[in-house]
Structure 1
Amino acid sequence: MSSPKVSTIAIEGVLDGTKADQVRQTLNAAINEGADILLFNCEQLTFMDSSGLGLLVHALKMVRAAKRKMMLCSLNKQVSTLFQLTEMYQVFQVYEDLADFEEQVLNRDA
């Protein structure tokens, strides 16, 4: 079985409502390029507010509508706390870091 095609989207700085168009464009491009999995790498993300969280939920809906998967990795403490408080860990597949994602998702059949 071949590995799924992964498109990694790096989120940097602050994720809030001002980044909506940028995230949508990047997401649409990744879907149109045939990615099976869209991985949001949050290693360089410094802060997320409720608008940013809403943006991720909207992104997840877009990805599911395209019959693809969306995952996140490398959440910092602030974002992790936000995910815990809003129970987003039940909604999103989140991995500790990129290596954890690769081990659990890409090497399952290896």
Structure 2
Amino acid sequence: MHLSYDAKFQWRSQDTWKALKKELRSQFFLKNVEILARRKLRELKHTSNIQEYVKQFTRLMLDIRNMSEKDKVFRFVEGLKPWAKTKLYEQRFQDLTSAYAATERLFDLTSDAQDVRRH
């Protein structure tokens, strides 16, 4: 892909990678992508393994521009299985990274407990 002189100038005037990404997204981001991602997020449920749920959730979040951290945590926890949802709400997370980590620890502990019961 070759950029015209004006385009090269515009992209080079961006100070940081973050600013460039933001500018590119605002120029080329389809309006309905965010709406579709929010719909999928509303329907997303943790049904099988936790890593797959986290991966799907993270992918959808890439297409959603303006969501507060509190809402992200809420949406993530709401999609979990009921027993996991209860455990995570007890911990009152303020950020998504902490919620991801706690969820993975919780599922590691549960799978360890199941392994012990099998032996």
Fold match by TM threshold 0.5: no
TM-score, with normalisation over the residues of structure 2? 0.30
TM-score, with normalisation over the residues of structure 1? 0.32
Greater strand share, 1 or 2?
Answer: 1
- Larger relative contact order (CA 8 Å, sep ≥ 6): 1
Greater helix share, 1 or 2?
Answer: 2
